[in-house]
Amino acid sequence: MTTTKFLDLTDGRLSYDDQGEGPLVVCVPAMIGLRSEFRFTTPLLVAAGFRVVTVDIRGMGESSAAWPEYGSGPTGHDLVALIRHLDAGPALIAGCSSGAGSAVVAAATAPELVSGIALLSPFLRDAKGGLAMTLVRAAARVPGVAGALWKSHYVQMYPGTKPADFAAERARLAANLAQPGRGRAARAYICDMSHAEAESLIPRVTAPAVVVMGTADPDFPDPAAEANWAAESLRADLVMVEGSGHHPQAQAPEQVVAAIRKLAGV
């Protein structure tokens, strides 16, 4: 059982947990996701000799619900504040989806604090999404429906074999979205988030990087093409995970951990 810790920032409070000893890895979930997305990768990383911190992004999990803005850019700056607070040397950031964009923002704006970035199913630009995400974004503009819509879309993000605890994790997410203020945050992520800041900062990233993408990721019209663009833009290694959807850290944790270990040189 992990203990939740908190970091108070000017505009709100971030929640995180902290496990293991060794080089620091900070894990960032996807938008409208919980830090428990990394429940399978964390023990593997700890066993491999890493200190692993998983964080709830703005509006989600045990972090504050209400913030003046949400998105990969603001979360990237939150990561810089968190790594400074941890005071454990530079961190390798593993971010999923919009969390990958946040990793890019952090690496570009505070390169001395970031030793590497593992980008899982990365959204690094405001490219056209897949059909399912396009429909969700349109419907989520109706007040009060964002949380319910995301619960439905969540199933689509896990094609093929789902984690054994998928139903329980989905229930945890639904319960979190039902809390006061979480629906507003979800709507902001779905409808208003831009990755323009992350894309503009890509040329400033000097940290080594790896891109991990599922071949069946429904959030991209062409997952392989998007993964190749991201890898080429960042001069990163590329790992395609056969059959995985938008959360390879939950569907293929061993492959994700192998990519992180290679990036870290362990």
Q: What average pLDDT score do residues 203-211 get?
A: 98
**CA–CA gap between residue 143 and residue 227 (Å, rounded):** 33
Q: What is the CATH number of the domain that holds 181?
A: 3.40.50.1820
Q: What average pLDDT score do residues 139-153 get?
A: 64
Residue 49 sits in which domain range?
A: 5-264
Residue length of the chain: 266
> How many domains in the chain?
1
- pLDDT, tens only, 168-197: 999 999 999 999 999 889 888 988 888 999
Q: Tell whether the model's pLDDT for residue 122 goes beyond 70.
A: yes
pLDDT at 141: 60
Q: Are 217 and 132 in contact (CB under 8 A)?
A: no
- pLDDT, tens only, 211-231: 999 999 999 999 999 999 999
- pLDDT, tens only, 18-42: 999 999 999 999 999 999 999 999 9
Output the DSSP codes for 137-164. HHHTTSTT-HHHHHHHHHHHTS-SSPPT
